[in-house]
Chains A and B, each alone.
Chain A
Amino acid sequence: MQIIKDKKITEDNWQFVADDQDIPQTGDITVSVSRWLNDKDSLTRRGGQTGLRIRSTDTLEDIAGDLAGMPLVELDIAMFGDGRSFSQAWLLRNRYHYRGEIRAVGNYLIDQIFYLHRTGVDAFQLDESRKPEDALAALNDFSVAYQPSVN
């Protein structure tokens, strides 16, 4: 599957494993915060890499201690009007100094990509309504900005 990462179209094989699904022994996966907190030990012992999928209602403090070395954090935007993910991205970068990938997934709009990128999101899941070339173009909606953020 194609995603945008670091302003490039990239092939990607990460899978989100829902809470009611079995954890595969290999391959790169993301899991919910609650599953991570419950099964952290076994998840770190498996064959592939494990990342987190954070909902806008999750509390970042809960996973703050696990961020070092975490390869991927997905911000799950359930509704495009829910702006908490933007603050979560900013906090992950500025407050928790997380340096791994932050990927926007879920129901966000092309028109939000510029803002998401500025707050620290560096990868974007695509779908029918978010075509790769449009998403890439959206990263350049504005060439100037008034306020500091992450980017």
Chain B
Amino acid sequence: MYQYTQDDQTLIDERVAQFRGQTERFLKGELDGDQFRALRLMNGLYIQTHAPMLRVAGPYGLLSSRQLRKLAEIARKYDKGYCHFTTRQNIQYNWPKLEEVPDILAELAEVQMHAIQTSGNCMRNTTTDPLSGVCKDEIEDPRPYCEIIRQWTTLHPEFAFLPRKFKIAVSGALHDRAATQFHDIGLHLVKNDAGEVGFKVFVGGGLGRTPVIGQVIRPFLEKKHLLSYLEAIVRIYNLFGRRDNKYKARIKILVKEEGLEKITELVKQEWQLNKDSLELSDERIESIKAQFAPPAYETNAGLDGSFNDRLQDNPAFATWVQQNTADHRVPGYRAAFISLKAPDAPPGDITDTQLDLVADLADRFSFGEVRSTHRQNLVLTDVKQTDLFTLWQELDAAKLATPNIGSATDIICCPGLDFCSLANAGSIGITREINQALDDLDYLHDLGDIKINISGCMNGCAHQSVGHIGILGVDKKGEEWYQITLGGSSENEAAIGDRLGPAVAKDQITRAVQDILDVYIKQRQEDESFLHTVKRVGITPFKEQVYANH
């Protein structure tokens, strides 16, 4: 993974010093609430229901074991012994003290971590496919480009005060596992007719109150023009994006109101004037790529037969391998997901002891690295298949091996009313209830790939509008109600879910989810997935079942 140079380290150290000064000025009354708000948000610090919330950047989801141990230490020392992984591969602490945040940032800086631009109206952490570099369907590893973008976005002087937040995601594989079409800019590594690899550029995607699927602004962009083209898009957005209404300030609204054609033209004109001054050299690309060189895989890892024996002997292990591990491009290796969706734990949460354990397991079995995923889990991407049994046993003992990756209980869930001051309704409680209702593993695995996303308000942090089943908490006269959508997807065939009907009451929502799953079981043809069944039969049968009972 990328290792900081002296300049990288200097920059984050100076940022800590700057933020320490800002916090002191605020506490002395020299900065008012609004002024400090803009500054603290750019260091990931929110003021929440109970306490501040600090969002730490996980650059494109890649973390070293040393960094995990630091996250654990911070959880113990400054928080309540746990932290939370987000859909954008970041880490959140829910209980830090405002006056201690500069100290936390200083500790993070010791392990090349920071909270820069994890919030605020600026360019955010760039996200990517958690299986980058190891998946079989990859055109090229996107991580070097993510790092190049990370550096370019960090403290960009011209774009620190955009109309609204700005998110970039990069995918290097045929299968989009990074929800790129729902980002302000989505980048797909693609090969053109001449066999050159470049980027297909999407613009104007986004979730939240107005979900929009990104559109192609440039079908093929040469790698050397990556930064100049990004700069052109962001400059046009900075100059012309709406600033009169924060709900209409994202680039998706600009693209929608002005039209893709006009925005494409404006960006092109801007880019033509700037592209020669910001060209990426081959040397620069190669030097960053070298930092993501493959680890020293064993060439005969696939030859050991003990893995197959274990699969035969131990059905629980076989189930976990089937559900929680993914193919690897190197024979004899697999990527092993660590489920942060145990039935009784809030989705995405992890304790300090679990973090320390994962760090040790990463050192022993996966070259000392771990990735966070868009669906709020972790993954050890380079595990020898002969090590999987021991890995599973240790994960299982720490409640990190629930075999539910990609299933209906691998729920994306925001902190909801329990923690967030914006929320209208609880989401963690609903998730727990659905988990309890779907506790039969055979049934769960028979349902197959079902993505349930639950957000506690229309800001949609849990991306409910692209859940196969989306659940959105709404406030009705002080009570928590839930709207349901079906058929959303953030993958290649991107789609926004259709609303099923009126919101249902809190005590009815789990029953409604069960009804939806029952209809799927009845309607599906052979091994047809949930999403395909919804597409084929439409929402009517689901609607009839859900509202017949309520």
Contact = CB atoms under 8 A, between A and B. Distances in A.
B436 interface: no
A45 interface: no
Given A83-B159, A118-B157, A141-B18, A148 B239 contact: no
B4 to A, nearest CB: 11
B14 A142 contact: yes
Interface string B127-169: 0000000000000000000000001101111111111000000
B225 to A, nearest CB: 15
B10 interface: yes
A97 interface: no
B277 interface: yes
Contacts of B159: 83, 86
Interface in B7-27: 7, 10-11, 14-15, 18, 22
A111 B273 contact: no
A90 interface: yes
Contact of B158 (A95, A119, A141, A144): A119
A114 B161 CA distance: 13
Interface residues on A, range: 20 to 34
B152 A146 contact: yes
B278 interface: yes
Interface in A70-86: 80-84, 86
Contacts of B30: 129
A84 B239 contact: yes
In this complex, which of B18, B154, B158, B274 has the most chain A Cβ atoms within 10 angstroms of its Cβ?
Answer: B158
A83 B162 contact: yes
A141 B235 CA distance: 24
Contacts of A144: 7, 10-11, 14
A86 B11 contact: no
In this complex, which of A114, A129, A142, A147 has the most chain B Cβ atoms within 10 angstroms of its Cβ?
Answer: A147
B164 to A, nearest CB: 10
Interface residues on B, range: 20 to 34
B238 A87 contact: yes
A14 interface: no
Given A95-B273, A111-B22, A146 B154 contact: yes
27 contacts: A80-B35, A80-B38, A81-B38, A81-B161, A83-B158, A83-B162, A83-B163, A83-B238, A86-B158, A86-B159, A87-B239, A90-B158, A95-B273, A111-B22, A112-B160, A114-B157, A115-B158, A115-B160, A141-B14, A143-B10, A143-B14, A144-B14, A145-B155, A146-B151, A146-B155, A147-B156, A147-B157
Interface of B: 7, 10-11, 14-15, 18, 22, 30, 35, 38-39, 121, 151-152, 154-163, 227, 235, 238-239, 243, 273-274, 277-278
Q: Nearest 10 CB-CB pairs, A to B?
A: A83-B161, A118-B157, A115-B157, A146-B151, A144-B7, A86-B158, A87-B238, A144-B11, A142-B14, A149-B157
